[in-house]
């Protein structure tokens, strides 16, 4: 007996497996290999397909065994996860190409003022369109929900006509040059529609992609670090993350090697339970990475925002002093900090925004799993894990701190001591 055609889909919030071309009179049985896993069989005799609906992707490793007549077939949700990883890597790689082109033009242009926000606007939208496009092309059978930074509101205004034309051309040129997708060029109206695929609210149920199309826009404008950051939430937890860092050196940024800074362009990827890997954006075999395992806070260097307006440099300085850190802070933009930390370029990342600033989930989702799967831990300043299930914002206590498991207790103490001192009225 021939294999049944199998596709996967998400019906409502529940993942489904659809077995096509099933003969209605064939006997059918299903058995689950996990206690936590329930499966419903929905028969559809009109198109001879059977739909199997399970209760959660969080049991993704559970394999259901189907038997039908004499043909036995095993199906694992691992297939889905693999497809999602491939799609996510492809999506951010293509978006990175668009961003690199725009940044190169920006830096070469004599006319363009560096304070002009228009290049970053074009690249932000273009990146969001490409990521949304690739995910939907690569995962056609999965329901698509995207929580992303941009929406089309401003672009629909009369004065944005030229910007929209530039975005549309950039997107179409990038897709055509890549050659993977044999599609007609997108119209401006399609570009607007696809940008608005990113307006999902996320939340604790189902799966949601989380995208920052250009994280670190200030770094992008300066010609420094930025990242295209894409995460995947499943039932409120980050289960996948990819970070494209087009300007991050492939070697450690602590490396003293000559020309080490010449080879740039890193792609970090992580999936729950599978570790974190780094490869070159130009294509190279992925290499497993691990956070620094130093237990000695005196030899731990730390990362923080380049922009003092994004994170208090004086507070991080006070924490570093308490820990006895000798090295000066490494200040770079974007979630490239999480990537660099995941391969041990430094041991600590400190982030303390001004009071009242609300962190967005797309600024941390991908970085969070890249660090966790590399053996590190990211928490708020009180030691609580970051909660991505609350919608578009993180609900945080004071700041975000990241380090390895061994240094975390000492770091938490230094953070609390510094925060308490800061709260005391000065004499
Ligand atoms: P970084 O490059 O690590 O400083 O972080 C870049 C991100 O900081 C951007 O994507 C913004 O979403 C976010 N951001 C913008 N304004 C602020 C602020 N006032 N405080 C903290 N983060 C901010
Ligand atoms: Mg950002």
- Cβ(216) – ligand 1 distance below 6 Å: yes
Proximal ligand: closest to the CA of 333 = 1
**If you take atom 3 of ligand 1, which residue's CA is the nearest one?**
334
Highest mean pLDDT: which of 216-225, 252-261, 341-350? 341-350
pLDDT > 80? residue 138: yes
Residue 281 and residue 93 in contact, taking contact as beta carbons nearer than 8 Å = yes
Give the single-character DSSP code of 4.
Answer: P
Q: Residue 186 phi/psi, 5° resolution?
A: -75, 145
Proximal ligand: closest to the CA of 339 = 1
Burial of 137 (0-12, 13-18, 19+ CB in 10 A): middle
Give the single-character DSSP code of 197.
Answer: G
pLDDT > 60? residue 386: yes
- Maximum pairwise Cα distance, the chain: 85
Of all atoms in ligand 1, which is nearest to the CA of residue 225? 2
Sequence-distant (≥ 6) Cβ neighbours of residue 147 within 8 angstroms: 198, 200, 201, 202, 208, 209, 210, 211, 233, 361, 362, 392
Task: At 126, list the tokens.
Answer: 């273009």
Alpha carbon of residue 421 to chain centroid: 35
Residue 239 and residue 271 in contact, taking contact as beta carbons nearer than 8 Å = yes
Proximal ligand: closest to the CA of 220 = 1
The string of DSSP codes covering 34-84 is: -TT--EEEEEETTTTEEEEEES-GGGTT-EEEEEETTEEEEEETHHHHHHH
**If you take atom 13 of ligand 1, which residue's CA is the nearest one?**
310
Proximal ligand: closest to the CA of 226 = 1
Mean per-residue pLDDT of the chain:
84
* Per-residue pLDDT at 121: 86
Which of the listed residues 211, 310, 340 should we mutate to test ligand 1's pocket, taking the one with most ligand atoms within 8 A of CB?
A: 310
**If you take atom 21 of ligand 1, which residue's CA is the nearest one?**
310
- Cβ(305) – ligand 1 distance below 6 Å: yes
Burial of 285 (0-12, 13-18, 19+ CB in 10 A): exposed
- Cβ(307) – ligand 1 distance below 6 Å: yes
Q: Residue 247 phi/psi, 5° resolution?
A: -110, 5
Residue 172 and residue 184 in contact, taking contact as beta carbons nearer than 8 Å = no
**If you take atom 10 of ligand 1, which residue's CA is the nearest one?**
215
Q: pLDDT tens digits for 302-344?
A: 999 999 999 999 999 999 999 999 999 999 999 999 999 999 9
Please give the distance, rounded to the nearest whole angstrom, from the Cα atom of residue 420 to the centre of ligand 2.
Answer: 29
Kind and range of the H or E element at 376? strand 376-380
Q: Residue 18 phi/psi, 5° resolution?
A: -110, 125
pLDDT > 80? residue 120: no
Q: pLDDT tens digits for 61-118?
A: 233 333 332 233 334 446 799 999 999 999 999 999 999 999 998 776 644 454 566 6
pLDDT > 60? residue 248: yes
CA distance 160 to 166: 10
pLDDT > 60? residue 51: no
Residue 137 and residue 175 in contact, taking contact as beta carbons nearer than 8 Å = no
For tokens 């005799």, the residue is 45
CA distance 284 to 266: 10
Which of the listed residues 307, 313, 337, 355 should we mutate to test ligand 1's pocket, taking the one with most ligand atoms within 8 A of CB?
A: 307
Q: Which residues are catalytic?
A: 124, 217
Q: Residue 72 phi/psi, 5° resolution?
A: -115, 140
- Cβ(393) – ligand 1 distance below 6 Å: no
Sequence-distant (≥ 6) Cβ neighbours of residue 386 within 8 angstroms: 364, 368, 378, 379, 380, 394, 396, 400
pLDDT interval class at 15 (50, 70, 90): very low
pLDDT > 90? residue 234: yes
pTM of the model: 0.82
* Per-residue pLDDT at 79: 75
Please give the distance, rounded to the nearest whole angstrom, from the Cα atom of residue 173 to the centre of ligand 1.
Answer: 30
- Cβ(353) – ligand 1 distance below 6 Å: yes
CA 325, 327, 329, 332 torsion-angle sign: negative
- Cβ(215) – ligand 1 distance below 6 Å: yes
- Cβ(308) – ligand 1 distance below 6 Å: no
Please give the distance, rounded to the nearest whole angstrom, from the Cα atom of residue 305 to the centre of ligand 2.
Answer: 12
Of all atoms in ligand 1, which is nearest to the CA of residue 212? 10
């Amino acid at each position: 007996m021939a294999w049944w055609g199998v596709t996967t889909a998400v019906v409502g919030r529940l993942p489904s497996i659809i077995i096509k071309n099933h003969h209605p009179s064939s006997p059918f049985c299903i058995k689950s290999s996990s206690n936590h896993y329930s499966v419903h069989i929905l028969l559809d005799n009109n198109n001879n397909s059977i739909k199997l609906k399970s209760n959660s992707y969080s049991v993704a490793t559970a394999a259901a065994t189907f038997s039908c007549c004499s043909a036995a077939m095993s199906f694992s949700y691992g297939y889905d996860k693999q497809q999602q990883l491939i799609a996510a890597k492809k999506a951010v790689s293509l978006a990175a190409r668009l961003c690199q082109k725009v940044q190169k033009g920006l830096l070469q242009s004599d006319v363009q003022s560096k304070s002009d926000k228009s290049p970053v606007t074009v690249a932000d939208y273009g990146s969001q369109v490409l990521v949304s496009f690739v995910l939907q092309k690569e995962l056609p059978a999965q329901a698509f929900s995207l929580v992303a930074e941009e929406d089309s509101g401003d672009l629909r205004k009369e004065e944005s006509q030229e910007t929209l034309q530039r975005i549309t051309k950039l997107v179409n040129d990038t897709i055509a040059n890549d050659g993977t997708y044999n599609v007609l060029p997108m119209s401006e109206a399609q570009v607007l529609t696809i940008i608005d695929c990113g307006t999902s609210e996320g939340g604790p149920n189902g799966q949601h992609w989380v995208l920052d199309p250009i994280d670190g826009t200030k770094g992008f404008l300066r010609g420094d670090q930025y990242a295209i950051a894409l995460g995947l939430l499943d039932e409120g937890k980050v289960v996948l993350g990819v970070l494209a860092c087009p300007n991050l050196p492939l070697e450690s940024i602590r490396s003293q090697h000559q020309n080490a800074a010449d080879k740039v362009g890193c792609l970090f990827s992580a999936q729950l339970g599978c570790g974190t890997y780094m490869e070159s954006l130009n294509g190279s075999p992925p290499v497993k990475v691990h956070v620094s395992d130093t237990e000695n806070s005196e030899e731990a260097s730390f990362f923080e925002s380049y922009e003092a307006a994004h994170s208090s440099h004086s507070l991080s300085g006070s924490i570093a002093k308490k820990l006895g850190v000798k090295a000066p802070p490494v200040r770079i933009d974007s979630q490239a900090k999480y990537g660099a930390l995941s391969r041990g370029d430094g041991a600590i990342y400190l982030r303390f925004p001004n009071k009242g600033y609300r962190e967005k989930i797309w600024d941390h989702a991908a970085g969070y799993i890249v660090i966790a799967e590399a053996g590190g831990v990211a928490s708020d300043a009180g030691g609580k894990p970051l909660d991505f299930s609350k919608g578009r914002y993180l609900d945080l206590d004071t700041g975000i701190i990241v380090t390895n498991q061994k240094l975390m207790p000492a770091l938490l103490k230094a953070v609390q001591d510094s925060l308490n001192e800061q709260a005391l009225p000065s004499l």
